[in-house]
Amino acid sequence: MNFKEAYQKLEECGQLHVLDYYDELTLQEQEALLEQIDTVDFKVLKYCKNNTTNQKGRIAPLTAMQLAQINAKREYYTAIGLEEIKKGKVAAVLLAGGMGTRLGSDNPKGMFDIGITRPVYIFQRIMENLLEVVEAAGAWVHLFVMTSDKNHDVTIRFFEEKKYFGYKKEFVTFFKQEMVPASDYEGKVYMEEKGKISTSPNGNGGWFTSMRKWGLVDFVKREGIEWLNVFAVDNVLQRIADPCFVGAVIANKCVSGAKVVKKKTPDERVGTLCLEDGKPSIVEYYELTEEMKEARDEHGEPAYNFGVILNYLFREKDLEAIEESELPLHVVEKKIPYIDKEGNAVLPDQPNGYKYETLVLDMIHQVDNCLSYEVERNKEFAPIKNATGVDSVDTARELCKENGIVL
């Protein structure tokens, strides 16, 4: 893209300030900026005052398959799941493209070391858990790792350095998610440098589209993979490609499944799996109404009692029908580093604008049904979101110890 074309594109979307420092840039920097202007999709910015996520349909509870029910059929479900894994029909997708801003580490979250007497990296915990399934099934499980522009190379280097934590390298494939511009509250993009627009990963909802762009959906089909278990990087007790979960989804003729835990309190900060206009849907904790918090089921238990832990099983063929553009766009307030009018780099300590994201949890509403599958909270849910306090390194360490994991 030449300067004139770039000028026109920016003028049309009200972003001409991107060229404020153009004359100060070296030739190389100018070329890089023109290339970035060419590739950046500015369309999302129009949502800065119009978050598309707020209109929900009619919400009703979705009954979860609870632990007692699962335990009664554990062997049966596990056998079905193991069989599918043995046949190579199940793969896993690790969502590791996030910025982990709350944890406050510059490295990818998975490189965070939660060890005390020895190094125990988050990635290591994930690979160890997956290895247990590989051993039980006697077959390797393909793992696709989503990264972003911000952490792709360093993530791959880390896996190489750690020899894939004992996993078979040929079964681990990295792919990058797309980036979108970050803006101020008026929808004007921030500049990260004089010659670089500030961009951030486009949320975890774009994973399947990004896999497609990387040719991985073709690969999945060639390999005969039918189920994709997508999960978050930050739960150090996450069970991946869990045979019992896979078997339960298949045996109950569901097209997707979501692992859920019993909420600690009705307003705990986890999404609630329910029905929206008859289809599965996840209501965020801040969208729960008082009425929903107080609603009871026929046993007198809270009707919206189960929270999702970002561990979903999707049938691959259903994912192909979902267009990323159909997913609602979440406009999220965040701290965005930028350069000010004088060209000084600013690292804000308070949110100063918006990032634009689609979320994997919204994909659940695009499929016909979803098995809400309860897991034992203290055995499978140890999220690390914050440096201290709730869902932090400290709480995750306690839970690891409780599960006999030497730190």
Residue 214: name the closest of 175, 167, 161, 169 by CA: 175
Annotate 85-147 with DSSP letters as a single string.
HHTT-EEEEEE-----TTTT-SS-GGG-B--SSS--BHHHHHHHHHHHHHHHHTS---EEEEE
With a CB cutoff of 8 Å and minimum separation 6, the contacts of 251 are 73, 76, 77, 80
SS3 call for 228: strand
Of the pair 97, 302, the CB lying nearest ligand UTP is at 97
Q: Does 78 bind ligand UTP (CB under 6 A)?
A: no
When CB distances to ligand UTP are compared, the closest residue is 98
SS3 call for 210: helix
Q: How far is the CB of 14 from ligand UTP (least distance, A)?
A: 25
Environment class of residue 334 by beta-carbon count within 10 Å: exposed (0-12), middle (13-18) or buried (19+)?
middle
Cα–Cα distance between 269 and 285 in angstroms, integer? 5
Cα–Cα distance between 155 and 151 in angstroms, integer? 6
Contact segment (CB under 6 A) with ligand UTP among 80-88, 95-103, 272-280, 335-343 equals 95-103
Task: Considering only residues 109 through 128, tell me which ones interact with ligand UTP, judged by CB under 6 A.
Answer: 109
Binding mask 299-338 for ligand UTP (x = CB under 6 A): -----------x----------------------------
Task: Considering only residues 193 through 252, tell me which ones interact with ligand UTP, judged by CB under 6 A.
Answer: 201-204, 232-234
Q: How far is the CB of 99 from ligand UTP (least distance, A)?
A: 4
Task: Considering only residues 260 through 299, tell me which ones interact with ligand UTP, judged by CB under 6 A.
Answer: none
CA-CA-CA-CA torsion sign (367, 371, 374, 380): negative
The only residue of 6, 34, 40, 95 in contact with ligand UTP, by rule CB under 6 A = 95
Contact segment (CB under 6 A) with ligand UTP among 19-27, 42-50, 97-105, 181-189 equals 97-105
Binding mask 345-384 for ligand UTP (x = CB under 6 A): ------------x---------------------------
Read off the amino acid at residue 327: L
Q: How far is the CB of 383 from ligand UTP (least distance, A)?
A: 8
Which parts of this chain interact with ligand UTP (CB under 6 A)? 95-102, 109, 146, 177, 201-204, 232-234, 310, 357, 385
